[in-house]
Amino acid sequence: MAKKAKDSSSQSVPESVYQLKVTLDGIRPPIWRRIQVRGDISLFKLHNILQVVMGWYDYHLHQFSIEGEFYSVISREADMLGDDFKDEKKVKLSKVIPREKFKFIYEYDFGDSWNHNILVEKIFKPQEDLLHPICLKGKRSAPPEDCGGKGGYYHLLKAINDPNHPDHADMLEWLEHEYDPEYFDADIVNKQLAEIR
């Protein structure tokens, strides 16, 4: 009986864990996260994880671009764009990301076009189950939603940091809450990730 219990618990251990470095494209100083996720998750679940670790709110469409193929949620909104997506809910990470040092792109918000460059740093067999995704490290806050892409983001930073800037008051009012571009707390992110099973 003891052996049977051990076998059933070992079945929950994922075949592989992927360590990914996620970097927001074209932003300096860099905004990035290092995470570990199970290899058997769907790309849709990876999308949800990326939303949490980057601090986005999933207000907009998104897509993964992997070796010339596009993956997203099949929806009326996506169909209206005329793009040919594959259903990310039906695709496991390990099936489309074959090796270490592999790179792919996650784009969030087709208007602001936030491209995230994702590097597969490691693929390894874990000693125990990875109950939920983990954020190992990261730097700086993601830009606020709907700030207007890279140009809008840099304009926002300039305006909020200069009390004499003509848009200073308007930008602070638009933000609605304090925004610190240097802030990142992995502990808080991991508490949120603990809810993703």
Contact 83, 67 (CB under 8 A): no
Domains and their CATH numbers in the chain: 2-141+183-193 (3.10.290.30), 142-181 (no CATH)
Summarize pLDDT for 8-35 with one digit per residue, the tens: 444 467 789 999 999 999 999 999 999 9
CA gyration radius for the chain?
19
Model pLDDT for residues 115-144, shown as the tens digit of each residue = 999 999 999 998 888 888 999 999 999 999
Q: What's the pLDDT band for 80 if we cut at 50, 70, 90?
A: low
Sheet hosting strand 103-108, strand order edge to edge: 86-87, 69-72, 62-66, 103-108, 114-124, 17-24, 32-38, 134-139
